[in-house]
């Protein structure tokens, strides 16, 4: 088998790399391994697949595409042939930098939101699709014009042995390319190691009844004094990016309402207190006991949620989350 029979080898590697990364993401790979696997996909592979689809043929001219003597303003001729290795590399990085944010923008508009795994899977799908298009594009080229990968074509630097560069000092250009590639890789590594996250928050709610046409309140608002304690189900959902310990305090208050919606608390009794630890991204249910100590219709239950231990005098003003339930005790 000749070298020209391996014209699809680089694109097959792209598809294999994308498949491996997708499996790693699905399997939950993390840490340094995840970053090392993801950097090529973010910095190079999407752009390379796109460049390969746009330029399926290899270079056939004895000068570079940016040879000003041949294609400058003084002699604006179209260049035949494909791209040199350095051109493919630079354009692959540039196109990757353009494609990845576009995928992230699209992901942010989906119901799932801007989630790192979702963005990586989208980039993987886009890269694999472009690689397949590139293979078909190369296949349609004439065999003698078709781009075939080689070690020299994989170099991201100018070659001083080339007929066009042999009289030029390519060192500064190669140094600039090397510095640029290092900066791109470091920037991508930092972004992958420290992805942007939304501000942490905690959801605090109570279980409500199914709403029908006969529903007056979505919770049990009528209690009896000196009866058995009634249960009230509360749910805590942790979105704080780390495990948190919460304390829920249930208090019964006798209140009066003034003009302008002002509320005056006349009495307050603590009915229950529970503590629970919730891992990040998970929910915990608490069964709180409510045994009223007051009678009347100007009463309310206050469910006060605290991170850690509550203060000596729990009030709605010093709680992290508050759920207020007006009730009547007969």
Structural domain total, the chain:
2
Structure tokens at 196: 């942007």
pLDDT tens for 51-104 read 888 887 766 654 444 455 544 444 444 444 566 667 777 787 888 888 877 887
β-pairing, 296-307 with 201-206?
A: unpaired
Which of 159, 193, 227 corresponds to the end of one domain? 193
State how far the Cα of 78 lies from the Cα of 71, in Å rounded to an integer.
Answer: 7
Which of 137, 161, 193 corresponds to the end of one domain? 193
The owner of tokens 């353009």 is 98
State how far the Cα of 79 lies from the Cα of 58, in Å rounded to an integer.
Answer: 12
State how far the Cα of 94 lies from the Cα of 46, in Å rounded to an integer.
Answer: 10
pLDDT of residue 211: 42
Residues 30 and 116 grouped into a single domain: yes
Residues of the chain with confidence (pLDDT) below 50: 1-3, 62-66, 70-80, 163-165, 167, 210-216
Residues 187 and 224 grouped into a single domain: no
Residues 138 and 273 grouped into a single domain: no
pTM for the full predicted model? 0.49
pLDDT of residue 38: 73
Residues 111 and 40 grouped into a single domain: yes
Residues 131 and 256 grouped into a single domain: no
pLDDT of residue 216: 46
Residues 39 and 84 grouped into a single domain: yes
Which of 141, 158, 193 corresponds to the end of one domain? 193
Residues 11 and 160 grouped into a single domain: yes
What CATH number has the domain bearing residue 275?
Answer: 2.60.40.10
pLDDT of residue 274: 92
pLDDT of residue 158: 55
Structure tokens at 43: 């910095």
| Enclosing domain of residue 232 | 201-329
pLDDT of residue 84: 67
Buried/exposed 238-250: b ≥16 CB within 10 Å, e otherwise: bbeeeebebbbbb
Residues 139 and 219 grouped into a single domain: no
Positive or negative CA dihedral for 208, 212, 217, 222?
negative
């Amino acid at each position: 088998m000749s070298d020209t029979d391996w014209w699809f080898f680089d694109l097959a590697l792209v598809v294999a790399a994308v498949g491996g990364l997708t499996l790693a993401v699905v399997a939950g790979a993390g840490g340094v391994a995840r970053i090392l696997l993801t950097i090529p996909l973010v910095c190079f592979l999407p752009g390379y697949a796109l460049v390969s689809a746009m330029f399926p043929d290899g270079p056939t001219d004895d000068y570079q595409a940016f040879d000003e003597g041949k294609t400058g303003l003084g002699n604006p001729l179209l260049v035949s042939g494909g791209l040199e290795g350095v051109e493919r590399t630079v354009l692959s990085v540039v196109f990757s930098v353009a494609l990845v944010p576009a995928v992230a923008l699209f992901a942010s508009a989906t119901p799932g939101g801007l989630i790192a795994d979702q963005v990586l899977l989208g980039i993987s799908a886009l890269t694999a699709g472009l690689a397949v298009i590139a293979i078909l594009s190369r296949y349609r080229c004439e065999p003698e014009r078709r781009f075939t990968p080689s070690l020299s074509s994989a170099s991201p630097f100018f070659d001083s042995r080339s007929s066009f560069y042999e009289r030029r000092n390519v060192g500064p250009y190669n140094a600039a390319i090397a510095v640029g590639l290092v900066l791109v890789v470091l920037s991508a590594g930092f972004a992958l190691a420290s992805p942007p996250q939304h501000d942490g928050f905690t959801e605090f709610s109570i279980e409500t009844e199914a709403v029908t046409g006969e529903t007056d309140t979505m919770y049990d608002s009528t209690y009896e004094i000196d009866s058995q304690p009634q249960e009230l189900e509360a749910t805590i959902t942790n979105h704080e990016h780390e495990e948190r310990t919460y304390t829920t305090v249930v208090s019964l208050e006798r209140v009066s309402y003034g003009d302008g919606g002002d509320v005056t608390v006349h009495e307050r009794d603590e009915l229950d207190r529970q503590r629970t630890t919730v891992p990040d991204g998970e929910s915990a249910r608490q069964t709180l006991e409510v045994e009223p100590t007051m009678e009347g219709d100007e009463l309310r239950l206050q469910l006060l949620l605290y991170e850690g231990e509550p203060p000596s005098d729990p009030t709605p003003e010093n709680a992290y989350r508050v759920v207020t339930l007006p009730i009547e005790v007969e």
